[in-house]
Amino acid sequence: MKNWMSLQTEMGNFQHRATIISFALKMSFSAVILSALIMLIVLPPLSYLDLLPLSLAHSLSLGIVFAWIVGGAACGLLSLIAGFALHQLTVSRAEFEKLSRTDMLSGLLNRRAFTAALADADGDASLVIFDVDRFKAINDRFGHACGDAVIIAISAILTAAFNDGSVVARLGGEEFGVIVTGSPLSARLEQVEQVKMQIAQQPIIADGCSIAITISAGIADLETGRSKEAVYASADKALYLAKALGRNRVIHESEGLHHAWHSRLVESGLGVQGDAADHDEPQRAYGI
C-alpha cells in the first residue's frame, strides 16, 4: 500500500489519461537526455583513440538523432503501455475500494464504512439508528422482493432527507445508521421526526402492492471525549425503547426509562425486556 501511494505521489494520479500522456512524454525526454549524456561521455574518448568511423561532430549528431527516433519513441511507447496498465490498476483498485465500502442492495455505505465514519465524527452531531417496523411481517406477507423494494425506498428517502455533511449507511437487514450533523440539537431531532413522518405517510409500491411502513429511531449525541462505543450503545437502547413503546417513534437518549415511560410499559404488559420482536439484539457491540 505504501509503495503504491508513493508511486502515485511521484508520478501522479493514473485515473486521468492526461497524466498518462504526461508520464510518457517525461519518460521519453528522460531517455533522450540520458542517451545524449552517455554519448557525450563515451564518444570523445573513442574519437581520441580514432575508433569512430566518422568525425566526433557527425557521430554526436547522428547519435542524438538516433536517440530521438529510437530511444525517445521506444521509451515513449513503452511508457504509454505502462501508463495505461497503471490506469487500469488504479481504476480497478478504486472500484474495489468502493465495493468494499458499499452495501450492494441499497447503494449506501455498509457497516464497515459507517464505523470508520463514526470514529472520525465529533461535536455538533448525533448518531441515529433507524429500524423498519415489523419488517419480517412485510417479507412474510409480500415476499422478499418487496422487502428489498422497501429497503431501497427507505435508502432513497434517507439519502434525500439528510444534508451533504451527514453520513447515511445500511447497517444490515432493515437497520440504517445516520450521523446527523449541524446544530442546534433541536434541529437535528426535528429532521429525524420529519423523516419518520414522511415514511409513515408514503406507502411504497412494489409488485403492484401498496406497502404501508413505519420506522423507529434511537438517537444519541456525539460529544467530545465520549467514546463511540458508548454513543452507539445509547442509541441502540433508545431504539429498543422506541420499539417497546409501540414503534413508529423517535426516542432520544435523554428520555431514557423515566417513570412515565416505565408506567406505560407496565400498563401495556411490556417489561423493559418487552416484545420488541423486530429488534431482538439490544446493546449490540459497536462496530460489529
In CATH, what number is assigned to the domain containing residue 189?
A: 3.30.70.270
CA distances from residue 18 to 25, 76, 253 in whole angstroms, order as listed = 11, 14, 52
8/96 same-domain check: yes
Tens place of pLDDT per residue across the chain (288 aa): 444 444 444 445 566 666 666 666 677 667 667 777 777 777 678 777 777 677 777 777 776 666 666 666 667 666 666 666 666 666 666 566 666 789 999 999 999 999 999 998 877 899 999 999 999 999 999 999 999 999 999 999 999 999 778 999 999 999 999 999 988 899 999 999 999 999 999 999 988 889 999 999 999 999 888 899 999 999 999 999 999 999 999 999 998 655 455 556 555 555 544 444 555 444 455 554
250/119 same-domain check: yes
Rounded CA-CA distance 200/196 in Å is 6
E runs forming strands in the chain = 125-132, 167-172, 175-181, 204-206, 209-211, 215-222, 250-252
State CA 106 to chain mean position distance: 13
155/68 same-domain check: no
Q: Is residue 106 part of a domain?
A: no
Annotate 205-244 with DSSP letters as a single string: EETTEEE---EEEEEEEE-TT--HHHHHHHHHHHHHHHHH
67/90 same-domain check: yes
Q: Is residue 105 part of a domain?
A: no
Residues 243, 279 contacting (CB under 8 angstroms):
yes
pLDDT tens column, 45-56: 877 777 767 777
Rounded CA-CA distance 201/214 in Å is 9
Annotate 275-288 with DSSP letters as a single string: --TT---TTPPTT-
Q: Is residue 91 part of a domain?
A: yes
pLDDT tens column, 69-81: 666 666 766 666 6
Spell out the alpha helix ranges (H) of 49-72.
56-66
DSSP state of 129: E
Of 57, 73, 100, which residue constitutes the final position of a domain? 100
Closest-CA residue to 276 (of 220, 216, 231): 216
Provide long-range contacts, Cβ within 8 A and 24+ apart, for 225-231: 228/118, 228/119, 228/121, 228/286, 228/287, 229/285, 229/286, 229/287, 231/118, 231/127, 231/286
Known active-site residue 174: yes
Beta strands 125-132 and 204-206 are: unpaired
SS3 state at 89? helix
Q: Which of 95, 97, 174, 193 is catalytic?
A: 174
Residue 262 identity (one-letter amino acid): H
Q: Is residue 272 part of a domain?
A: no
This prediction has a pTM of 0.64
Mean pLDDT of the chain: 79
122/258 same-domain check: yes
CA distances from residue 153 to 112, 145, 156, 203, 212 in whole angstroms, order as listed = 22, 12, 5, 10, 12
Rounded CA-CA distance 288/271 in Å is 27
C-alpha cell at 8: 502515485
Residues 126, 185 contacting (CB under 8 angstroms):
yes
CA atoms within 13 A on the CB side of 55: 3
- Domain residues for the domain of 202 are 111-267
248/137 same-domain check: yes
